[in-house]
Amino acid sequence: EGYLLLSCSEGNGGAAARTTRVCCVCKSKAGNTFPPRALCFLFSFSDWQYETSFHPFRDGYSQLSAYERKRLKNITENAKFFAALKLHEVCMDSEYHQNALPPQVPAGPLPMVPEDQRGNSELTEDLLTTWMRISEVLLVNLVIFGQDMLTNMVLSEENVRKVVKYRVCSMAIHPSESVLFVAAGDKSGQIGLWNVSEEGAHVFVPHSDLVSCMHFSPFNPAHLLSLSNDTLRCGDVTRAVFDEICRSEDSLSSFDFLEDNASTAIVGHWGGNVAIVDRRTPGTSSELSADIGFKRTRTVHVHPVNKQYFVAAGSVDVCIYDVRRLKSHGNKPVSSLKGHTKSVASAYFSPVTGSRVVTVCADDKLRVYDTSSLSSTAAVLSTVSHNNNTGRWLTRFQAIWDPKREDCFVVGSMARPRQIEVFQDTGELLHSFSNLDCLGSVCSINVVHPSRNILVGGNSSGRLHVFKE
């Protein structure tokens, strides 16, 4: 909307008083006189207009000087000119109309009903039955990544599927060896479940915001735990419900299990704190909230052997803490992983012994630290120059270990042709997964099967890409 700024002031005489009286000829469309009570006012072309019958020598205005009369004439002509341009209408047409916020997911348990099949669960009965059936079988055989096996893992067109509507922010893969079953969370709160051997995926909406972390329970894979900004939920396929485990007014960022039975978890907050959550206690509040001195906590990860230790990645801080010593304030790290000059996207222990930690930093470096003995400062074993500048439209890279071995991790890549890279802990590039026909986008989030040679990558449009033998 266009405005014309006029100076005016109240006084007992002289030019100031005369200017005030001139301002009074401005009238609204409703006929109200503009109040001469301020040092200045805004003249809106849509709400106010000059009185066209005004003449500088009528109604007592002859006392104005020649300069003031000329100035008022120019103001009147300019106002008519701008009104003819119809600036108000143009501005209204170009006004940005913000989309309404998505509906908020209610608190408490939610039925496990797909978003596109409300009231009709027949089409997803097979999916949920399969999930329940494969969760009863424990994985037995481990197949280790080798150079030949990596080369044999390929991507085909039928193994690319749009699973969620928006950008993939987290993924989890079921440990079943018989059925390939993948879950993906997007930035809107959707969780897509995909049985790779079947057509299509089924989408659920247990959250209102970005799903930043997901894990199948290591104790009971019939449970899928997912975390969003305000809630940590457990999707229980045996009861077909998404239970609410924890709700917080402080934004949640990530979580990991503190025990093999998955009854307790460490939860990171975007504000920097961490919290302990016990699924066995009633209510949805945490047992303890601890200030660890971070401005931001992006990821938390528990040591695979010594469960009392967890590593937290923050703005530029990466530290290892002892959960037994946590208190509300004044927490000191057991070990610090130093050298990061910008924000850290993730930090994860190696899966077998926890003797390594790999980090991804915005300073375009991947770093591997020696955590075999938790000294006050962990030594850097290797540093890899790596373009981690994903920008605002892509999820930030996270380097994740192959669950079957100590010395091999996977990370997305900005390189062309598009690819997913596998590095050894020495910093050597071991392999790049690519396919010119089927992979044309950046896969920021990746997950590796715990017992089979299968890699799944998720992109910013909600598509998953499955590389397998």
CATH at 406: 2.130.10.10
In a domain, 191, yes or no: yes
Residue-level pLDDT at 38: 36
Residue-level pLDDT at 112: 86
In a domain, 70, yes or no: yes
Q: State which of 77, 93, 109 marks the end of a domain.
A: 93
In a domain, 109, yes or no: no
- Among 85-99, 199-213, 255-269, 284-298, which is the least confidently predicted range? 85-99
Confidence band, pLDDT 50/70/90 cuts, at residue 82: confident
pLDDT for residue 430 is more than 60:
yes
pLDDT for residue 107 is more than 90:
no
- 143 and 222 housed in the same domain: yes
Residue-level pLDDT at 138: 60
Domain that holds residue 373: 123-468
- 326 and 261 housed in the same domain: yes
Residue-level pLDDT at 139: 54
- 187 and 293 housed in the same domain: yes
Confidence band, pLDDT 50/70/90 cuts, at residue 274: very high
In a domain, 66, yes or no: yes
- 31 and 84 housed in the same domain: yes
Q: Which range has the top average pLDDT, 39-48, 56-65, 115-124, 263-272?
A: 263-272
pLDDT for residue 242 is more than 50:
yes
- 413 and 282 housed in the same domain: yes
- Among 94-108, 206-220, 287-301, which is the least confidently predicted range? 94-108
Confidence band, pLDDT 50/70/90 cuts, at residue 7: very low
Mean pLDDT of 436-452: 97
- 226 and 352 housed in the same domain: yes
Q: State which of 41, 76, 93 marks the end of a domain.
A: 93
**What are the structure tokens assigned to 198, written together?**
């079947």
In a domain, 117, yes or no: no
pLDDT digits (tens, 9 = 90+) for 137-191: 665 555 566 667 889 999 999 999 999 999 999 999 999 999 999 999 999 999 9
In a domain, 114, yes or no: no
In a domain, 390, yes or no: yes
- 89 and 219 housed in the same domain: no
Share of the chain above pLDDT 70, in %: 80
Total number of domains constituting the chain:
2
In a domain, 64, yes or no: yes
- 242 and 386 housed in the same domain: yes
Confidence band, pLDDT 50/70/90 cuts, at residue 52: very low
Confidence band, pLDDT 50/70/90 cuts, at residue 123: low
Candidates 338, 337, 306; CA nearest to 323 is 306
pLDDT for residue 24 is more than 60:
no
- 64 and 173 housed in the same domain: no
Residue-level pLDDT at 86: 77
- Among 18-27, 57-66, 261-270, which is the least confidently predicted range? 18-27
pLDDT for residue 264 is more than 60:
yes
- 78 and 127 housed in the same domain: no
Is the pLDDT higher at 414 or at 98?
414
